Structure 1
Amino acid sequence: MNPDSQNVTDYTNNNTIFMVLSFKDNLGLSDVFSKLCKLIINLNNSANVRFPVSRASCVMGIGHDAWLKLKLPVPLPKELVDFAPIVGEKHTAVATKGDLHFHIRADNTSICYDMAEAISDVLDPIAISTEEIHGFRYWDSRSILGFVDGTENPHGQDRALFSMVGDDDAAYKGGSYLFTQKYIHNLSAWKGLSTEDQEKVIGRYKANDIEMPDDVKPSNSHIALANVGDDFKIVRDNMPFGNMSTNEMGTYFIAYASTFTTVQKMLNNMFIGSPEGNYDRILDFSTAKTGTLFFVPTFNMINDFGG
């Protein structure tokens, strides 16, 4: 594990705020971004001192276009691109814009709020919020669909192996690719399925979270298509969210990966299908509303960016 890396290997906490911001224009970016970099380091250091058992942290990701606008080092991280939509016969992994992404988590909502407020205050002159999701731990790490989420996550040292860039891109070693999607669930349709049919969509048994045997698990189940092999894993930190007044119930999918290629394989399997047309059945009940790729620099890089 790279001790200089941001907190991408941390385990899911009880409360999360996800924020995506886009720059208003190119005026004044450098000065404000310098302040922001210093703030991110300050927030994480302060959290470690003030709330040592809360597992509080703030992870900052930077999009492809923002990297160029901010005139950050070139060449860019090898796989940092402007994400393009993945279009299947029935469903599409949409691409949406985002310059900066913040993943704020703690066991106490107040810590998350204060971090989000401090970041927003600094960025107000140059950026607007395009997405803000308040996630929460739902029972024993289940999604709103009722199934445990993240069971296939790597553990121990494997979390760093699969979430951090290695020697193949030495200039960015210890950094991470960050891909996010906001999914909205059609709960009325989902609840219309029997538990047995829901299990066939996911590929796991609902109550005990045990994966179905290969000869029982459907080829278009989520588990069958999202798992692209033991050598290609990601660190998920998905969180459920819900708004009763707008009837928006969903999952914020967030993946830290050593290469974006791994995430791309998963998305292709899900939306195009394997074989083509055999798409992930969960997409009949969960619609991707966003899709953006970011790069998470190490703290040393952030310190350099801050001047």
Structure 2
Amino acid sequence: MPREQFGICAEPNLHSYYLMFNVMDNKNAFIRQALAALPEMFDQYADQFSEANMATVIAIGANYWDDFYPASRPKNLRPFEQIQADDRVAPATSYDLFIEIRSDRADVNHVVSSKVCELLGDAVELIEQVKGFRYLDGRDLTGFVDGTENPKGMRKREIALVAEEDEFAKGSYLHIQRYRHNMQLWETLKEKQQEDVFARTKRDNIEYDSADKPNTSHIKRASVKDSNGKSLEIVRNSMPYGHMKVQGLFFISYCYSPENFELMLKSMIEGDGYGNFDHMLKYTQAETGAAFFAPSVTFIESLAKEK
């Protein structure tokens, strides 16, 4: 039975390091071998620094998959599609590889990230690196608790992981966006105005009653249903990032299907057809967006047999 990557459904950590690479020409065979060696390396560091509770994820970009593994492809894997409505944009960015390293020690993340870059060497170009951190009791820098709607317990694995009967069982469709907040503009709002943007109280994290949720609220726009009226869920592993000049949220979505995330994002940006879009987008802007597939550990380790 395939074994999923631990970091997909692991509990939140205090620190994260996100690495995004593009692969150089004619380096696909080397990359397959290098990635196959990563799970064992991650296990060694997780044992060495057991108190850090390290969690990691390796993911392959939708645009790169066919070069990386031409033998077969996750059936629903597709590139991130840019969405735009008026001045609201979800841009598409092309990354070949995404490595997520989380733990409760920033120094451990640094050590492991350095070893990843050392292993991949000149076969890749490091396009972007982002350090995330836990803010207060799991809040976004806006002051609101993040990931409240995440499924719990075994339900989390059901939502995040591809079903066992699939060729790529225990993998996960992954989407990332790096949002940059306009904190100066956000802080001009009074607390009740901020709460109306989310449809949730700020201090106590209590969701508004259904009848009280504005159609432009984040919860309203991010809550979508399929054609049968069933709520579509994702597993969020997002974390704040930044410094005194640039601040935002590194958004991460894991799911058994890319459709759930895609429909949520369209609902937020395009709205409901009556002009009701997600008003949180007045105060934050996605600067990147990419789609990946995070295969099972079993699949990744099997790459060692590939030429």
TM over 0.5: yes
Aligned residue among 283, 298, 301 for 2:299: 301
Would the aligned equivalents of 2:95 and 2:290 in 1 still touch at CA under 8 Å?
A: yes
Deviations 1:54-98 (A, max 9, x none): 320220010122211223431x11111111111223311110110
Partner residue, 2:116: 119
Task: After TM superposition, list the pairs within 5 Å mapping 1:121-140 onto structure 2.
Answer: 121-140=118-137
1:35 aligns with 2:34: yes
Equivalence for 2:10: 10
Structure 1 position 143 matched with structure 2 position 104:
no
Aligned residues: 300
Q: So what's the TM-score if we normalise by structure 1?
A: 0.93
Question: Is 2:178 the partner of 1:182?
Answer: yes
**1:238 maps to amino acid:** S
TM-score of the aligned structures, taking structure 2 as reference length: 0.93
What secondary structure does 2:250 align onto?
A: strand
Deviations 1:180-213 (A, max 9, x none): 0000000111000111101011111001000011
Aligned equivalent of 1:93: 90
Aligned runs of 1:235-250 on 2, under 5 Å? 235-244=235-244, 247-250=245-248
Question: For residues 124 and 276 of structure 1, what CA distance do their matches in structure 2 show?
Answer: 51
Residues 96 and 278 (structure 1), Cα distance of their counterparts in 2 relative to 1, 3 Å cut: same
Residues 235 and 254, structure 2, Cα contact 8 Å, conserved in 1: yes
Listed as ranges, the gaps of 5+ residues in structure 2 are none
Residue identity opposite 1:146 in structure 2: G
* CA distance, structure 2, for counterparts of residue 276 and residue 243 of structure 1: 37
How far apart are the structure 2 equivalents of 1:72 and 1:120? 25
What letter matches 2:210 in structure 1? D
Distance 1:231 1:167, change over 3 A: farther
Is 2:46–2:54's contact at 8 Å kept on the other side of the alignment? yes
- State how far apart, in whole Å, the 2-side matches of 1:273 and 1:236 are: 21
State yes or no: 1:102 paired with 2:91.
no
Shift of 1:306: 2.2
Q: Gaps spanning 5+ residues in structure 1: where? A: none
Choose from 253, 258, 262 the match for 1:264. Answer: 262
Tell me the CA shift for residue 147 of structure 1. 0.5
Contact persistence 1:238–1:252 (CA under 8 A): yes
2: CA distance, partners of 1:34 / 1:274: 46
Deviation at 1:231, TM superposition (A): 3.7
